[in-house]
A and B are shown apart, each in its own frame.
Chain A
């Protein structure tokens, strides 16, 4: 298949896998922290702060994948090489 087709497939697929991992991990964190707040409503503020920090940390992993997907789609360093190679091949043919 085409180089650019693969680029799009990889970007979309990678991002969805990252979203799955991120979703499951964040839901585990929220589940336990909500349980903790239910058990000890007085510590609610501290638990929520810690939960927010944990969520932001886990979110950042999905954001790394997003940045890589954006680089593949919009700032691909191999685009020029591929365009030159395919136009050379088409020219020779």
Chain B
């Protein structure tokens, strides 16, 4: 159940650096994204072309999607959502490069991102409503407040758990199935699985970002 050969793992063996493979590949993804951003912002032209056009399409897409679901108050959370979208997409797509391991196939990366979204939700709620944010957890009828509070608490704790496990299960399951196919019949059979991998990468990014948007907008809206 081990990956046959991981390029950055071999490199870090040479340098005697004992880090998990998800950490080194997350660094690789960060370097890719930073270099991409740097190259795009070199010469910003009035009429974009090439790389700047491509990045503007991505940024416009994410921002319009956010505004449609969050309303005008949500514009200030665009850096968080945009970063999550691009990081998760690049992490998922790196799974298709031979010799690379997606950082999202490890529980730690996913839990970090899910806990960030969880923290952001409550931070936004408290910043927007003050102590009245707790009224969100009380429910419509005040008499039932203790019961509804427990139910809402469980629901809130289920959110980062489900975010983590969904992304982890999809990415790691894909890697496991690919490894089994490669062990059984490496000639042409893994190719449909890799197509499925591309589809799953995009869909899982979309679902993660959509859920983050819904949670944050749920904390922004007025309570009952």
Residues of chain A with a CB closer than 8 A to B204's CB: 56
Is the C-beta of A52 less than 8 angstroms from some C-beta in chain B?
A: yes
A63 to B173, CA, bound (A): 8
A65 to B120, CA, bound (A): 29
Q: Tell whether, in the assembled complex, residue A60 and residue B165 are in contact, meaning their CB atoms are under 8 Å apart.
A: yes
Q: Tell whether, in the assembled complex, residue B165 and residue A52 are in contact, meaning their CB atoms are under 8 Å apart.
A: no
A66 to B169, CA, bound (A): 7
Is the C-beta of B203 less than 8 angstroms from some C-beta in chain A?
A: yes
B212 to chain A, nearest CB (A): 13
Q: Tell whether, in the assembled complex, residue B165 and residue A67 are in contact, meaning their CB atoms are under 8 Å apart.
A: yes
Smallest Cβ-Cβ distance to A73: which chain B residue:
B1
User: Known contacts A53-B210, A70-B176, A74-B1: does B170 contact A63 (CB below 8 Å)?
Assistant: yes
Residues of chain A with a CB closer than 8 A to B168's CB: 67
CB neighbors of B among A61-86 (8 A): 63-64, 66-67, 70, 74
Is the C-beta of A57 less than 8 angstroms from some C-beta in chain B?
A: yes
Chain A at the B interface: mostly helix, strand, loop or mixed? helix
Is the C-beta of B162 less than 8 angstroms from some C-beta in chain A?
A: yes
A52 to B165, CA, bound (A): 18
A64 to B165, CA, bound (A): 7
Is the C-beta of B206 less than 8 angstroms from some C-beta in chain A?
A: yes
A67 to B162, CA, bound (A): 12
Sorting the interface of chain A by its residue count into under 10, 10 to 19, 20 to 34 or 35 or more gives 10 to 19
B202-214 to A contact mask, C-beta < 8 Å, 1/0: 0110110010000
Interface size on B, residues (CB 8 A): 15
Is the C-beta of B166 less than 8 angstroms from some C-beta in chain A?
A: yes
Residues of chain A with a CB closer than 8 A to B169's CB: 60, 63-64, 66-67
A53 to B166, CA, bound (A): 13
- When the two chains form the complex, which single residue of B166, B172, B173, B206 contacts A52, counting CB atoms closer than 8 Å? B206
A18 to B166, CA, bound (A): 15
CB neighbors of B among A18-56 (8 A): 52-53, 56
- When the two chains form the complex, which single residue of B1, B166, B172 contacts A60, counting CB atoms closer than 8 Å? B166
Residues of chain A with a CB closer than 8 A to B165's CB: 60, 63-64, 67
Residues of chain B with a CB closer than 8 A to A57's CB: 207
A74 to B176, CA, bound (A): 12
B209 to chain A, nearest CB (A): 11
Residues of chain A with a CB closer than 8 A to B210's CB: 53
User: Known contacts A66-B169, A66-B173, A74-B1: does B162 contact A60 (CB below 8 Å)?
Assistant: yes
Residues of chain B with a CB closer than 8 A to A63's CB: 165-166, 169-170, 173
Smallest Cβ-Cβ distance to B173: which chain A residue:
A66
B214 to chain A, nearest CB (A): 10
Q: Tell whether, in the assembled complex, residue B207 and residue A56 are in contact, meaning their CB atoms are under 8 Å apart.
A: yes
- Name 6 A/B residue pairs within 8 A (Cβ), A-sorted: A52-B206, A56-B166, A56-B206, A63-B170, A67-B169, A67-B172
Closest 4 CB pairs of A and B: A63-B169, A60-B166, A56-B207, A67-B169
